[in-house]
Chains A and B, each alone.
Chain A
Amino acid sequence: MTALELRLEKAEFLLRQSQLPNPPHGYRTVAPTVEQLGAHYNASPDSVALPTEVLNPAMPQVAPLVYSSGEQTSVPEDATLTRSTERFPPEQGRVSASLLLQDEYTPPNVHTSIENADDLENPYDVSGDFEWDESSARSPTVAPLERAGSEQSDEAELIGDGMATLAVDESQGAYFGVASGAALLRAIDPVAAQHSPRPVRALRAGTRVSSELPMHLSSRRLVTNALVDAYFRHYHISYPILHEPTFRAQYDEVVERPSGPCWNFLAHLVAAIGAFTTGSDKAADNALFSEVKSLMNATYLEHGNLTLVQALVLMSNYLQKKNMPNSGYNYMGLATRMAMGIGLHKEFRKDNTPPFKMEIRRRVWWIMTVFDIGAEITFGRPVLMPAGGFEVALPMNIHDWVSDLLQPVVACR
């Protein structure tokens, strides 16, 4: 049996497992052709509403989101939808995809899952922030992650194809968008997806995985209060990629430090940049520079989490400021890929993602993007920003200290 046949067989198995009853006239009755839809609703074929992902234009049309007098005093409840409407005013005769689906055959168990194109776009649960961990997939030295739903996880492992096609468990939590096979399986089999394990939790401090990763130095020993203060006084004021109260609470161990050794890496970078900005102690600056470089480990790239994205972005900018622009450029490539792997480029409804988390994600994405494009133009290299497929809003213009967004410090992992 060829690999392709094996994969097809697995796909069939999944579909059989998905509780999707056989449609009486095949799938075309659920998803009629564009021409059929147009005729039925007296609309031109190209006026049929498409998922936001498809409609999203290239970058120039994103720009008007920003700054016009008195614009955007608050983020709408569904920012994605609103912005799409701004770019694509309602057209006469435009047909809702959900309406079409209701009018045609609608399997009872499927209807609630795909009645809105957003449901393919928005995952069932973003409580894990799309953070992922594949470090146990290949390395025999790392103990298998503890999994609560063992039956489901075993099955998911068996059908893994490395293409995010058959992964009902979304490859352990990473972001997969509307075009992915995972999104389709999520829609047709939400129960299986919800029961899938979230091994990314294992990255938290004190777990077996984190103990396998290098923790060369105690952050307490090197990251002094003075350097952290210098970072926030000189650097953070221009590039607030961290949420200062959250980081300080983690630093003081008032709240849990997230992502195991990744946080340690981030904390060292904060100290190193703090030392760079003061410029008063060259020896400490250079020692921290060496220390930070030694902390970077290829194993990190088998994970995806917000802490690591923040660290990679800071590493990139730090290297540039330390006159290693090409090295910084490479790190930015890692940061941008990891950022999209955890879906930072996407906007999520507040019923899926609390405003605090969403706002932090926006800040990290846009600060990363500003660094990335700035360096690309500076170096005369192509801008690799996605031409479409992203719609995350700009950070809000708010004072953290008067905002409710400040409150959930303990909620930030």
Chain B
Amino acid sequence: MEYPSESPELTLYTSIRAYASFYLAVVPIYARMATKPYPSADDLITLDDTIITPWLASIPPCFADSAEIPPKHRLSHSVLQWKYRHFKTLMYRPFVVKGMLQPQQAGVPDLAQSRLAQQRCQHEAQASIEAIEDFWNNNDRTRLGAWYAL
């Protein structure tokens, strides 16, 4: 028996492929985050731009953030967006905390990158909240959906 041709359409397995590719991409970033010392803002921004951005662009059109998704696949589709936005929020979160506790003065090295990290963190957090709200308001409310969304 031969392998069939892959479909360009959304299938039952599109989400797993996307989740798996996401984790394969970000595991090296996570390893840096989980090992002391914590990466610099500059390092994380570079990793974000060189790993996560290309990964996001590689998602097939049928499963992109803006794609029209059939109701039964909307949870798995939303979970992907929540996953990557949450991960980026985590990446940059220490810089927000640090910025709140120790307001940085002009002239401090890496200040611009730290501020960019804070902006990215806040942007991803806000986008994640909005995505969850959108999902919750526009789909059937299941217990599984609630487990992920709430």
Residues of A in contact with B (beta carbons under 8 Å apart): 58-60, 62-63, 65-69, 72-75, 234-235, 237-240, 276-279, 321, 350, 354-356, 359, 363, 366-367, 369-370, 373-374, 377, 380-383, 385, 394-400, 402-405, 407-408
B112 at the interface (CB under 8 A from A): no
Establish whether residues B3 and A396, one from each chain, have CB atoms under 8 Å apart when the complex forms. yes
Query: How many Å from the CB of B56 to the closest CB on chain A?
Result: 10
Q: How far is the CA of A58 from the CA of B27 in the complex (A)?
A: 11
Establish whether residues A277 and B13, one from each chain, have CB atoms under 8 Å apart when the complex forms. no
Q: Which residue of A lies closest to B62 (CB)?
A: A397
Q: Which residue of A lies closest to B142 (CB)?
A: A234
Q: Which residue of B lies closest to A377 (CB)?
A: B30
19 pairs of residues in contact across A and B, judged by CB atoms under 8 Å: A60-B25, A60-B27, A63-B21, A65-B21, A66-B17, A66-B58, A69-B60, A74-B5, A239-B16, A321-B147, A355-B1, A355-B3, A359-B3, A373-B27, A396-B4, A397-B60, A404-B1, A404-B2, A405-B1
Q: Which residues in A have their C-beta under 8 angstroms from that of B1? A: 350, 354-356, 404-405, 407-408
**Interface-facing stretch out of B75-83, B97-105, B119-127, B129-137:** B75-83
Q: How far is the CA of A355 from the CA of B1 in the complex (A)?
A: 7
Please classify how large the interface on chain B is, using the bins under 10, 10 to 19, 20 to 34, 35 or more: 35 or more
Q: How far is the CA of A132 from the CA of B13 in the complex (A)?
A: 28
Q: Is the interface of B mostly helix, strand, loop or mixed?
A: helix
Establish whether residues B144 and A404, one from each chain, have CB atoms under 8 Å apart when the complex forms. no
Q: Which residues in B have their C-beta under 8 angstroms from that of A385? A: 27
Beyond known contacts A63-B24, A404-B4: 8 more, CB 8 A cutoff: A72-B6, A73-B6, A74-B5, A74-B6, A278-B143, A350-B2, A377-B87, A398-B7
Establish whether residues A350 and B3, one from each chain, have CB atoms under 8 Å apart when the complex forms. yes
Q: How far is the CA of A383 from the CA of B34 in the complex (A)?
A: 9
Q: Which residues in B have their C-beta under 8 angstroms from that of A408? A: 1
Q: Which residue of B lies closest to A276 (CB)?
A: B143
Q: Which residue of A lies closest to B20 (CB)?
A: A366
B72 at the interface (CB under 8 A from A): yes
Establish whether residues A400 and B12, one from each chain, have CB atoms under 8 Å apart when the complex forms. yes
Q: Would you list the 10 A-B pairs with minimal beta carbon distance, nearest first?
A: A66-B21, A279-B143, A67-B58, A373-B23, A238-B76, A75-B3, A395-B13, A63-B24, A370-B19, A397-B6
Q: How far is the CA of A405 from the CA of B2 in the complex (A)?
A: 9
Query: How many Å from the CB of B48 to the closest CB on chain A?
Result: 15
Tally of A-B Cβ pairs under 8 angstroms: 143
Query: How many Å from the CB of B138 to the closest CB on chain A?
Result: 17
B9 at the interface (CB under 8 A from A): yes
- Chain B 9-46: CB-based contact to A (< 8 A → 1; otherwise 0): 10111111111110111011011001000000000000
Best-surrounded residue of B15, B18, B143 (most CB of chain A within 10 A): B143
Q: A63-B24, A74-B3, A383-B30 are in contact. Are A397 and B13 (CB under 8 A)?
A: yes
Q: How far is the CA of A407 from the CA of B4 in the complex (A)?
A: 12
